[in-house]
Structure 1
């Protein structure tokens, strides 16, 4: 369904490490997420605490799902920082969607700092039972149970 892009993660981690000084502009290191399948759809949840819901963008283009969000920096210039561990800036995550996804029905919600994206399977990708008929007959063959013994 989804493929991991290691180069995007390495780039984000390197950028975060190079700009991790206290009290300076620091971009987010990563967007932690979970991905799981439930029946006929996938669910992606991403932790985005403190993000303005209006800054969240979920986009599908040419088989790639892109999640983007922004958390603004505190604007207190006269502050003497003792510790500055919270990241601010733009979070971005891209995932390649596999075949069989209904991209027109992808939906997203944001609640309590968690972005939830529901990614449904296309009808053609859902498992289905195929009836077996005998040659020359239109009546389906009834399945039988064979008992061991």
Structure 2
């Protein structure tokens, strides 16, 4: 039953996105990261779908603020810069910065990364799936103070 519900939801998201006028696609799916709150709020067409804890840059590193479209996505990526650390469900949005899953779930809710936005891997998978459904061009990643 859960699979059927997920399928229906996925289909409705895709149909709703394809039925919208081209100009309305600009911010269909928004993943807004609050550095001060260490949270991500995911909205679709203005409706909140998810609110999750994240980890962003710890002392000595930076998570840049701004608004971007996803540039590339990898179901699994290994960081060449940080000892081949796994980055499941990576959504790269600005150079080497990405939203991705982490096994360090005890650190979620406080700064802990080298600059990427870390999510619980299950939540990163959900976001990855949503971006795939609506398209990178219809998605924004917004990082605010």
Q: TM-score range by the shorter chain?
A: under 0.3
**Higher relative helix content:** 2
**Higher relative strand content:** 2
User: Which one has a bigger Cα radius of gyration?
Assistant: 1
